[in-house]
Amino acid sequence: MKNFFTKGRIAVLVIISTLIIDQVIKILVKTHMYLHDCIFPINSWYNIYFTENNGMAFGMELFGKLFLTTFRIAAVAVIGWYLVKMVKAGAKTGFIVCVSLVFTGALGNILDSMFYGVIFSESTPYQLATLFPSGGGYAPFLYGKVVDMFYFPIINTYWPTWMPFVGGQHFIFFSPIFNFADSCISCGIIALIIFYGKYFNSSFRQLKKH
C-alpha cells in the first residue's frame, strides 16, 4: 500500500480532489443563488455571498479579460511543468502537495474563464443561471466570469466619531470575496514560504543545472 502512494499519485490525487470540490461548490452556487445573494450567514464573520469577477484572485481586475485568461493558462502551464519536474526529481511530499494546490487553484479559475460563459446562462439578481441553456451561454469561449462566494469580514464596524478624517465611516477588515480555488493558491503559497522557502530556491537552482 505504501508503494501505491507515490509522489506522482499523491499529486494527481490532490489535483483531482481539490478541483472537484472547487467546481462542485461553484456550480451549486451558480445554479442555486441569485447574483449578489447572501445565504447561510452563520454570524457577522462568515457569509456565503455570490458574486462574479473578470479578474484575478480575490476579485482583483487588471488589464483586459482575454489577457488575464491567457496569462492564467500560461501560468498553469509553467506550474504544471515545474510540478512534473519536481515529482521526477523526488522532491519532498509536502512540497509536492503545496505546488499541487497552487496548480489546482489556478486551474480551477481558468475553467471558469474558459467554459462558464459557454455552458451557463447569465446570473442576475433576479434570475438563476441554468447549466447548458437552450439559447447558449452568456459569453464566448475564454470570456467567462470567475465565481466567488466566501466572504469573511473579520472586523465589520464603524470608526469612532472622534477620529479625524475617518470618524463615523464604515470599516471592514478583509473585504475580498473569494472561492475555494483562491484558498488553494493562498494556502499552497503560504505553506511554501513558511516550510519550504530554502527548498524552493534550491529546486530552482537544480532546474537551471538541467
Whether 195 is in a domain gets the answer yes
pLDDT of the residue at 205: 60
Establish if 128 belongs to a structural domain: yes
166: in domain: yes
- For 18, half-sphere exposure in the C-beta direction (CA atoms, 13 angstrom radius) is 28
Q: Count CA atoms within 13 Å of residue 84 on its CB side.
A: 5
How far is residue 65's CA from residue 75's CA, in Å, rounded to a whole number? 15
Domain around 94: 7-34+42-209
Q: Of the candidates 104, 83, 102, which has an alpha carbon nearest to the alpha carbon of residue 7?
A: 83
Specify the number of domains making up the chain.
Answer: 1
Judge whether 85 lies within some domain: yes
Give the pTM: 0.84
Q: How many CA atoms lie within 13 A of 141 on its CB side?
A: 0
| Residue 1 within any structural domain of the chain | no
Per-residue confidence (pLDDT) for residue 94, from 0 to 100: 93
Task: Write down the pLDDT at residue 136.
Answer: 92
Return the ∠ at Cα 45 (arms to 28 and 104), rounded to 5°.
45
Is 2 domain-assigned?
Answer: no
| pLDDT on residue 45 | 65
Residues of the chain falling short of pLDDT 50:
58-59
Selection from 182, 188, 176, 35 nearest residue 109 by Cα: 182
Residue 133's SS3 state is coil
Q: What is the pLDDT of residue 20?
A: 98
Residue among 18, 204, 203 at smallest CA distance from 106: 18
Residue 98 lies inside a defined structural domain of this protein: yes
Of 34, 59, 61, 66, nearest to 48 (Cα)? 34
**The pLDDT value given to residue 168:** 76
Q: Strand pairing of 46-53 and 146-151?
A: antiparallel
Give dist(CA 181, CA 105) in Å, integer. Answer: 4
- Active-site annotation, residues: 148, 182
- pLDDT of amino acid 202: 66
Predicted pLDDT of residue 46? 78
pLDDT at 120: 98
Task: Examine residue 47 and state whether it is found in any structural domain, yes or no.
Answer: yes
